Amino acid sequence: MDMETLKNFLLIAQESNITQAARSIHITQPTLSRQLKALEEEMGKPLFYRENRHLSLTPEGILFRKRAEELLELYRKTRSEIQASAEITGDIYLGTGETDVIRLISQVAVSFSQKHPGIRYRIFSSDAAGVRELLNKGLLDLGLVYGPSDPEKFTGVLLEPEDRWGILLPRTHPMAARRFLTPEQVRDLPLILSQQALQSGTLQAWLGKPLTELHIVGTYTLLTNAAKMVAGGLGCAMGLDGLINTTGSPLCFRPCNPPLTDRLSLIWKKDHLFSPAVHAFQELLLQNFANETGA
């Protein structure tokens, strides 16, 4: 099994048809069929269900597709690092959740790219657990996450900018007339809450009620989806400021009072070998945003 085999497998999975996949990469259908057969023999199980000329992934095929995508991404990342050599050029792989701080980091990235025009930023969006998983697999260089990370696996630095929590609600809602919202005003509303913040206990601590006494109508990992649920009338979403542009929209954002804030940590896998580009960018981020160690 080599990189070409992995690429061809992913193409077959995408096309669901060997003939179409073979045509797109300009090889014969029998050649591609033999390659797939050899791969399945190597794996010891079929990777596709075969129904006439249509192919669909078996459970083993679904797992193999995930691993093939990770291996190819790791290969591309490694090749980029080797080709960059000692020069500050190449790809920087950054994983992050939803945060307005990325706007500030982008401003730093602009100046860094002006100085080093060979830099490319590859941004992967996920929640904290997803970012840590990709870091642990070597598929990311740096991660931006909320909450503590395993000190046995990761080094982390708490960043200075603060994100402010608030409530996203329709402009027609009675609470929209207020500048701020208190726990007493929020806790009995139909709430759409961040799954990650619920796991950390951040929101229930501010609301002052256990989960069993809150009216939770939904949870989310992306506030953009929660905003659509708010617009659809499902409830009110607690989220971070700056993520949803409410200008000219039927929604508004009201900050929490007393203030509820959160801060990101810049984390990376312990003993991870950085390329010169990643090391230089990491140092620049720490110079601009670092507050204290121990994330």
219-262: pLDDT as tens digits: 998 899 999 999 999 999 999 999 999 999 999 999 999 999 99
Q: What is the pLDDT of residue 81?
A: 67
Average pLDDT, the chain: 90
What stretches of 188-259 adopt beta strand conformation (E)? 191-194, 216-220, 236-240, 251-255
List the domain boundaries for the chain: 3-69, 87-160+263-293, 163-261
DSSP conformation letters of 107-142:
HHHHHHHHH-TTEEEEEEE--HHHHHHHHHTTS-SE
Q: What average pLDDT does this structure show over 203-210?
A: 92
* Cα angle, residue 284 at apex, residues 278 and 286 outer, rounded to 5°: 100
Q: What average pLDDT does this structure show over 116-144?
A: 92
Q: What is the pLDDT of residue 84?
A: 57
The reply to whether domains 87-160+263-293 and 163-261 share a CATH topology is yes
Q: What is the pLDDT of residue 26?
A: 85
Q: What is the pLDDT of residues 39-63, one digit of tens each?
A: 999 999 999 999 888 999 999 999 9
3-state SS of the chain: helix, strand, coil percent to 5? 45, 25, 30
Joined together, the tokens standing for residue 294 give 């121990």
3-state secondary structure of 146: strand
Q: Partners of 143 in the beta sheet?
A: 95, 267
Q: At what angle are helices 276-289 and 101-115 packed, to 10 degrees?
A: 130
Q: What is the pLDDT of residue 179?
A: 96
* pLDDT tier for residue 199 given thresholds of 50, 70 and 90: confident
* pLDDT tier for residue 12 given thresholds of 50, 70 and 90: very high
Q: What average pLDDT does this structure show over 121-141?
A: 92
What is the topology classification, in CATH, of domain 163-261? D-Maltodextrin-Binding Protein; domain 2 (3.40.190)
Nearest alpha-carbon partner for 163 in 109, 207, 229, 105: 105
Highest mean pLDDT among 10-24, 176-190, 263-277: 176-190
Q: What is the pLDDT of residue 291?
A: 66
The residue among 117 and 85 whose pLDDT is bigger is: 117
- State the number of CA atoms in the 13 A half-sphere of 77 facing the CB: 23
Q: What average pLDDT does this structure show over 130-152?
A: 91
CA 21 to chain centre: 30
Q: What is the pLDDT of residue 200?
A: 84
Q: What is the pLDDT of residue 294?
A: 47
Q: What average pLDDT does this structure show over 265-279?
A: 89
87-160+263-293 belongs to CATH 2.40.50.100: no
* pLDDT tier for residue 293 given thresholds of 50, 70 and 90: very low
Q: What is the pLDDT of residues 73-110, one digit of tens each?
A: 888 878 776 765 567 888 999 999 888 889 999 999 99
The CATH classification of domain 3-69, taken from the options 1.10.600.10, 1.10.1660.10, 3.40.640.10, 1.10.10.10: 1.10.10.10
Joined together, the tokens standing for residue 12 give 């077959």
The answer to whether the beta carbons of residues 90 and 277 sit under 8 Å apart is: yes
CA distance 84 to 68: 24
Q: What average pLDDT does this structure show over 162-185?
A: 96
Q: What average pLDDT does this structure show over 268-288?
A: 90
